[in-house]
Chain A
Amino acid sequence: MTCTLGEVKQRADFIVYWGGNPAECHPRHFTKYTIMQKSKFLPRGRKDRTMVMVDIRETKSAKAANIFLQVKPGKDFELITILRALIKDQQVGDEQIAETGLTREALDDLVQRMKSCKFGCFFFGMGLSMTRGKHMNSAALLTLAAEMNAFTKFVAMPMRGHGNVTGADVIMRWQTGYPFGITFNRGYPRYNPGEFSTVDVLVRGDCDAAFIIGADPGATMPQPAINHLKRIPTICLDPHVTHTSKLARVHITTAAQGISAPGTAYRMDEIPMPLKPALKSPYPTDEEVVRRINEAIAQKPFWLPEGSQPQMISTQV
């Protein structure tokens, strides 16, 4: 249950940030979309909104919050589960609450505020989705938001990473049905994060070439993955020389998206924004480079002889 950022701007009188630090990681987020905005329904802006911050440490974002709840590291899932019980008036033991590092008073107050708001919103960051429990934490928070709709309007939204990660995710979904972690090695898309994700394929040494656009795995991935990138022909498209370009066989400098190359970027709420370049670049765009590579490949014989495999299978195995 999510919504576009404009809904939060217009309506959300109760906003919870969980495991994220928008003040430093999404510096325009507060002012453009959430707590600082005035709207038809919340004419006094910040004064009409309550902000809660749930995190393991007091970051800069916590200073902007009305209420800061410091949860013990790795106890997010427990805390969410307790909240799911408390909203339904189920019994929760003192020990269980103590384990999360918070007090019963603080949680009762939070639940009371969640239920009495008109439009509540959870924003969650990597502090929730990438720590112990990972996607189970995100799922639990989404469930809590869904269940809150029995009492009032409630939504939840992930704080996505920088660049156009959402766009990649959206397009992979319409073309293949899956957002990431996809293999085409049988001629059609299959999905298994943990097996077909880039890092896993590289660590296992399963691929014999790599084509990297606008990312820098050479700086962020584990050493075994980087080692494999060094072994195989790696092609890198980037406006800058990155760690990856240094280990790549080929680096092609391209125009920077949004600065000197046009296109579309998807905002974290999946709204597409047109990019209008402000400057000209002597370099080609990513799109042009990929198109020309595709054209060159199309000149070569097809990878399989005609008729050597079925065109369609009715059920996958």
Chain B
Amino acid sequence: MLRITGGKIYDPANGIDGQVKDLCVDDTGTIVSSVDGGRTIDASGMIIFPGGVDVHTHVAGGAINFARAMTPEDHRRTQAFIRTQSRRSGLGGMAPTTFATGYLYAGMGFTTVNEAAVPVLSARHTHEELADIPIVDKATLTLMANNEIMLDQMEAGEYERAKNVVAWYIWAAKSYGVKAVNPGGVAAWKWGSDAKQLTDPIDGYNSLTPGKIVTMLATICDDLGLPHPMHLHCNNLGAPGNISTTIDTLKHLEGHRAHIAHSQYHAYGGDDWDTMCSATVQLAEYFNTHPNITTDAGAVLFGDTVTITADGPWQHLLYKLTGRKWGNLDVENETGCGIVPYTYRPSNLVNAVQWASGLELMLLIRNPWQVFLSTDHPNGGCFWRYPEIIQLLMCADFRSECIKTLPDRIKSKITLPEIDREYTLYEVATSMSAGPARALGLTRKGNLGIGCDADIVIYEEEDDVARMFSHPRYVIKGGEVVIEDGDIRETPEGREFLVKPSCAPETDEFMRPLFEDCYTMSFENYPVEFERIENPNMQECVNASEK
């Protein structure tokens, strides 16, 4: 039991903007109206946030583990966690090890993370890794938009079948929702090509286009009543002039819920690398007039990182551009994945445009319930650098200082210098916690109301925003004080959120022959056993029509 007194509470889910209020937590780790006895934390003069929620990150699974193997030089120089009685050893850096991932997220006040890209074939691996990430609660999304069994059904116009296939895969992977990456493009990459136009048929198909996949998959997610809508990584990522593809994609989503991942990478104008510029004004305008769609920034920070994505063709291009290491891993029937270490440099015009675009999106999209803090970890920067972004959002002066260090030629390519908006603490709390929790459909997260999970962060108020957000005074996860005065005190195991969408019973028999045709493991061994999930937490699917 725990009582927190005297703190200024920022709880956007309940419209509380800095009021001083007491918070009480019972023995089950739930926020309640009052408790008798137990510890009291005096939070006078301090700031209280709901625990952070990362809507889009890559912290576990085959791809990030491939990235770890590819970057020993970074592990060698980065921060190291030394083993203590209550804590395992590990390494931070660009692709932190599992235990360190939990400590770093919690150390920054984040208590829920969404691993945004899991191929079903290696989902068993992802869940084993997630079990080794302590403290934070976790959800995973299944990669669907290039699944050939599903694409074949879409091509044949068999909507119901396609829907059942999606539901079957979600439960086979024991995941929480659907991720679509470069719809059709990764399937085409298996023959070495890509899909850049929404209305052109995909390589290997007669009539199926990326646009059709986008619309159908969004409909399927709505019809299955998934708590989190389709999580979409649009076609044509990272390319100059891709804003037209992105807007075109958004138009295919009219009338549906959707979450657009790392939209910074999809908001460029220009025709080639020389003329590339930010087109965030156009994209932000679309979001401002379409409240059905949410997004995360996918902001870029200057420095070293490693890029990993299921977008295989883009990574091949990045390898050709940089000449650095390239890892590629295609997964049978389902998806692909590429890994390239990368350094974002302020002196590089393209990188400077990317840096500005991420911030512009966060500042130009007016409703913080629609745009969330993310770097698409580790692609735009490592998650433990989020406080640097918060500082850039909250301090216009600091932002102008940073812009001054960029090359002069950047001025005509970006709109950031003209924006003077500064995030308030209330808006920060929305963008890093309440908003993403609502988008994920996790009603007990990002919310300090009665009956919600007691995931609470307490900051000592100070002028240095980056410092304040990187060093919370207390972090409470499920009612347990896990961080206190900069030390990790407890390392409880996190839960995993799962959904079981309804699926026609004959889907098993329908899948079996198709499966045996293209996979190399037996059908019975393919779905992840429910018993293998440590601390599973089932979430309800609510059909859109019943809402």
Chain A residues within CB distance 8 Å of chain B: 1-7, 9-11, 32-33, 39-40, 118-119, 146, 149-150, 152-153, 155, 170-171, 173-179, 184, 186-191, 264, 266, 270-274, 276, 302, 306, 309-316
Partner of A270, one of B62, B89, B517: B62
Q: List 8 A-B contacts (CB under 8 A).
A: A153-B190, A170-B65, A173-B68, A176-B97, A177-B68, A270-B62, A270-B329, A313-B82
The docked-state distance in angstroms from the alpha carbon of A271 to that of B488 is 34
B129 contacts partner chain A, Cβ-Cβ < 8 Å: yes
Partner of B79, one of A186, A187, A313: A313
Beta-carbon contact of B525 and A188 below 8 Å: no
Question: With A4-B331, A146-B319 known to touch, is A264 a contact of B83 (CB < 8 Å)?
Answer: no
The interface-forming segment of B118-126, B358-366, B462-470, B471-479 is: B118-126
Question: With A3-B329, A7-B332 known to touch, is A174 a contact of B192 (CB < 8 Å)?
Answer: no
Partner of A188, one of B81, B93, B316: B81
Beta-carbon contact of A4 and B90 below 8 Å: no
What residues of A have a CB within 8 angstroms of the CB of B82 in the complex?
186-188, 309-313
The docked-state distance in angstroms from the alpha carbon of A309 to that of B82 is 9
Partner of B332, one of A5, A178, A313, A315: A5
Beta-carbon contact of A191 and B128 below 8 Å: no
The docked-state distance in angstroms from the alpha carbon of A309 to that of B333 is 50
What residues of A have a CB within 8 angstroms of the CB of B192 in the complex?
149, 152-153
Question: With A9-B332, A191-B75, A272-B128 known to touch, is A177 a contact of B95 (CB < 8 Å)?
Answer: yes
Beta-carbon contact of B328 and A4 below 8 Å: no
Beta-carbon contact of B520 and A5 below 8 Å: yes
Partner of B80, one of A6, A153, A264, A312: A312
Given contacts A152-B192, A177-B72, A178-B75, 4 further A-B contacts (CB under 8 A): A2-B330, A149-B316, A188-B89, A188-B91
Residue of A nearest to B525 (CB): A274
Q: How large is the interface on B (under 10, 10 to 19, 20 to 34, 35 or more residues)?
A: 35 or more
The docked-state distance in angstroms from the alpha carbon of A171 to that of B327 is 19
Question: With A264-B124, A312-B80 known to touch, is A1 a contact of B132 (CB < 8 Å)?
Answer: no
Nearest-neighbour CB distance to chain A for B321, whole angstroms, equals 13
What residues of B have a CB within 8 angstroms of the CB of A273 in the complex?
521, 525
Beta-carbon contact of A174 and B330 below 8 Å: no
Residue of A nearest to B152 (CB): A40
B529 contacts partner chain A, Cβ-Cβ < 8 Å: yes
Question: With A1-B327, A176-B91 known to touch, is A9 a contact of B520 (CB < 8 Å)?
Answer: yes
The docked-state distance in angstroms from the alpha carbon of A205 to that of B333 is 49
Partner of B124, one of A7, A175, A190, A274: A274
What residues of B have a CB within 8 angstroms of the CB of A179 in the complex?
69
What residues of A have a CB within 8 angstroms of the CB of B319 in the complex?
146
